Structure 1
Amino acid sequence: MNEAIKGNILTPSGWLNGTISFGERIEDVAGSSSDPMLNSDDYILPGFIDLHVHGGAGKDVMEGGDAVHAIAAIHARHGTTSMLATTMTAPPEDIDVALAAIGKAVRQRGKGEARVLGAHLEGPYINSGKLGAQPNFARAATIEEVHRLEKLAPMRVITVAPEISGHLELVSDLAKHGVRVQIGHTLGSYEEGVAALDHGATGFTHLFNAMSGLHHREPGMVGAALAHAEFAELIPDLLHVHPGAIKGALRAIPRLYCVTDSTAATGMPDGEYMLGRHVVHKCMGGVRLPDGTLAGSTLTLDQALRNLVGLGLDLADASKRVSTHAADYLGLQDRGRLARGAYADLVVMDRDLKLKAVYIEGERCDLNDA
C-alpha cells in the first residue's frame, strides 16, 4: 500500500514543505521551498545508515544465528534503515560463523529490521599493538583468505593496519574489487597512511580511536586523515571523541560520517555483555573492558543526530552525516536521500528531534519498544 506524508522534507536540493509519496520506493516529492524554522511541521529526513554495528538488544554479531536480526530490529527502532553488521577480531572459525549469519541476513530482511547491506570486517588484519577493545587474535591478511570470506557474506568494508607486511598489496587488490578499505587499529605513521590511500584505501575506522595520534612533528595516522581523507567514520557519543576534536574533523574531512560502534549493551540496562570473546560492562551510558578501556558504545544514530545538532551543526548537515555521506561512501545512489526512485527509507522527527516514525523500504516500523 502506498503512503503519503506531509512535513518539512529534506531533499538533495534543500528543504521543501510538502508531501512525499512512496511504496517500496519514493514515487514523488512535491512542495515548495521553505525554511523549516518558519513553521511547526515535523521533519522528514533520509533514514539513517550505520556502517559499524557490533550489537544491540543483548545480542552480538559474533554469536551468529539469529543475532543479526535482533540487532537490526533494535537499530531500526532508532531510525537506522540500513547497516553493516561488524565483526570482531577473532579466531577464523568464529569469523566464519558470524559471516555466514550476516550473509543470510543480507538475503532476507525480517519485518521491522534495518536492511543489512553486508559486513564490515573489523579485523583480524589489525596491529596487535593497537587492539583497543579487540581480542588479541590479530594476524596478517592473505588475499586468498579474504576472497574465501567474501563467499560467506558481501564484504563492503574491511579495516586494516597498513603498516603490516603485505597489507598494501591487499589494499590494492580489494580496491580493484570494489571493497572499501579503511585504516584502523594501527600504529602506522603519517607516511604509511598516505601510502595506503595511494594504494586505494578510502576511509578511516572510528577516527582518533585506536590509531597513532597527531603531533606537530609526527602527524601520525590522525594527521593523514585530517590532511588527506575525503571520508572517515567517527563515533559521536561524546565519550570516544572530545567535542573539540569532532569540530576539527568536521572542518578537515569533507564527508565525515557518523557510526555507532554499538555493542550488545545498546538498548539494555547496565550490566555485563559480550563483545566477541570479551566481557564488557555497561555503566553510566558507556561500555568498557574491566581495565576501563572503552569497548564500543551504546549509541544509536538518532542520538548521534541530536549530539551533532547540539554541537552546532544545522539539521541538514547533521542529517547528511548520519545518512547521505555513508551511502555515498558505499556508492549507493538509491539510499540516503529523499528523491524519486530511491528506496523509501525515511524517518519522521518532531521539533525536538524525537522519532515519530521510521519507514524501511516503504514499511513502517513499530517504535513501541524504542
Structure 2
Amino acid sequence: MERVTYHGGRVFDGHVLHENWPITIEDYFIIEGAEGHPIDLAGDILAPAFVDLQVNGGGGVLFNDDPSVETLQRIAEAHIALGTGSLLPTLITDRPEITAAAIDAVAEARTRAMTGIEGLHLEGPHLSAAKHGAHAPELIRPMETADLAALIEAKARVGCLKVTVAPETVTPDQIARLAEAGIYVSLGHSACDAGTGEHAFAAGARGVTHLFNAMSQMQSRAPGLVGAALASQAWAGLIADSVHVAPDVMRVALAASPKIFLVTDAMAVAGTTLDHFTLNGRKILRRDGELRLEDGTLAGADLDMARAVTVLVRQCDVPLSRALAMATRLPAEAAGLAPHIGCLKARTPCRAIRLRETADGFRVVPLDA
C-alpha cells in the first residue's frame, strides 16, 4: 500500500472525532512527520474498521451450516465490504460435533492469519430453555466437566474465545474456571434473577450478550439480568436496529452504562440480496429489515455496523463520537483484542474505513472514493 495522506475531513481515532486532522498511512501503518499521495476526504470520516463480536454469517452462508475455513473466508469478505475489519464468527447452539468443527475451523483460520478472524464466539448450547429464542431448544443442555475442559483447550487454539452461557446451566465455579483460562464469559439467553446474575459476574462473567433480548427484564422490584448488568456496568452488546430494542430503551441503557457496544448479530443474508435462509432446518424470512422464523420469532438481525451507528445517532441522539466508539474501540476492549484494533494510533497497524453521511444515514465507501 502506497503512502497516502488523507485530509479535508474528520478523523475518529477511537476516542475523539478530530476536525481537519490530516493522517498518513503507509503499508497499513500510521506514520508521523511525513506526507504521501493526497486524498481529499471531502467531508467524509476516516475511522477504524468496525469490530463485531457477534457474526453468525454473511455473503450467503451461515457458520452453523458449514463450520469450515472456506465459510469463514466468505463471511469475513462479506463483512470487510461492510466496513468490519475484526470479527468473532459466532456459532449458535448446535450438536457437539458441529462445535468441534467450528473450533477446528477458527484455529486453522488463525494459523493462516486470515484477515478479520479474531477468534470465536460460541453462543450456546449452555443456555436456558426458557429463553431459547431462535436456538433449537432440544440442543440446549447444562455444562458438564467434559464441556469445560474442551472450552479451556479451545482457548489456546482460537485466540479470543467468547462463550455465551446462562447461569441456570453453568455454575459459578465453572464460570470462574472459564474466566481464569482467559475466556470471555458473557451471560445471555437466561431467565435468571438479578441476584443470580450478580453472582455470575462476581465469579468472572464479563458481560451480557445482546442486552434486553432473550433475558429477564428489569422491573421495579425484580431487576432481572438486564438490571444486574446495568447496575454492575458489565460489558453489554446491543443490537441497535430499533427492532430488537426500542430507541427510548436504548437511551435509558446508554445513560446507565458506558460499557455498551454494538453488535450486528448478522446472519447469512448480510452483504447479499437474499430474502430467506435456513437455520437448523428452519426457514428464516427477511422482510422490512427484520429476520424472523415463520412463527414470528426474531432470528438474528438484518443489520450492518454503519446502519447501527445511524440508528444511535439519528434515533437515540447519541453523539457520533460515542456511536463510533461503540462500533470500534469498545468491543475491542471488551474482548481484550490487540490494542491497535478499533483505534487509529501512530506507529501501529491500521485498519481504516471511510464513512460518508447521506440522507439515508452513514455508509462505507472506498478509501479512495
TM-score by length of 1: 0.88
Aligned equivalents of 1:291, 1:149: Cα separation in 2: 35
Q: Percent identity?
A: 31
Instruction: Single out whichever of 226-235 and 274-283 deviates more from structure 2.
Output: 274-283
Aligned position for 1:127: 128
Aligned position for 1:47: 49
Aligned length: 349
Q: Is the 8 A contact 1:49 1:327 kept in 2?
A: yes
Instruction: Give unpaired runs (5+ residues) of structure 2.
Output: 36-40
Q: Is the 8 A contact 2:155 2:183 kept in 1?
A: no
1:26-56 CA-partner distances (Å, limit 9, x unpaired): 223899xxxxxxx962211121000000001
Aligned position for 1:283: 287
Aligned position for 1:100: 104
Aligned equivalents of 1:228, 1:288: Cα separation in 2: 32
Aligned equivalents of 2:356, 2:17: Cα separation in 1: 18
1:98 positional shift: 2.0
**Equivalent residue of 1:163, what SS?**
coil
Aligned pair 1:5/2:14, yes or no? Answer: no
Aligned pair 1:20/2:23, yes or no? Answer: yes
1:266-314 CA-partner distances (Å, limit 9, x unpaired): 2333533123443312122211111110000121111111111112112
Aligned equivalents of 2:124, 2:234: Cα separation in 1: 22
**Equivalent residue of 1:116, what SS?**
coil
1:250 positional shift: 0.7
1:189 positional shift: 0.6
Aligned position for 1:346: 352
**Equivalent residue of 1:350, what SS?**
strand
1:244-275 CA-partner distances (Å, limit 9, x unpaired): 11111111111210000011122333533123
Aligned equivalents of 2:105, 2:255: Cα separation in 1: 38
Superposition map of 1:1-370 within 5 A: 1=1, 2-6=3-7, 7-11=9-13, 12-22=15-25, 23-28=27-32, 41-62=43-64, 63-65=66-68, 66-109=70-113, 115-136=116-137, 137-141=139-143, 142=145, 143-150=148-155, 153-164=158-169, 166-311=170-315, 312-331=317-336, 332-352=338-358, 353-357=362-366
Q: Is the 8 A contact 2:152 2:178 kept in 1?
A: no
1:230 positional shift: 3.5
1:132 positional shift: 0.6
**Equivalent residue of 1:354, what SS?**
strand
Shift of the 220–28 alpha-carbon distance from structure 1 to 2, 3 Å rule, reads same
Shift of the 4–276 alpha-carbon distance from structure 1 to 2, 3 Å rule, reads farther
**Equivalent residue of 1:94, what SS?**
helix
Q: Is the 8 A contact 2:82 2:271 kept in 1?
A: no
Aligned equivalents of 1:16, 1:29: Cα separation in 2: 19
Aligned-residue CA RMSD (Å): 2.2
1:177 positional shift: 1.7
Instruction: Return the letter of the residue paired with 2:200.
Output: A
**Equivalent residue of 1:41, what SS?**
coil
1:343 positional shift: 2.4
Shift of the 277–93 alpha-carbon distance from structure 1 to 2, 3 Å rule, reads farther
1:225 positional shift: 1.2
TM-score by length of 2: 0.89
Aligned equivalents of 2:33, 2:54: Cα separation in 1: 30
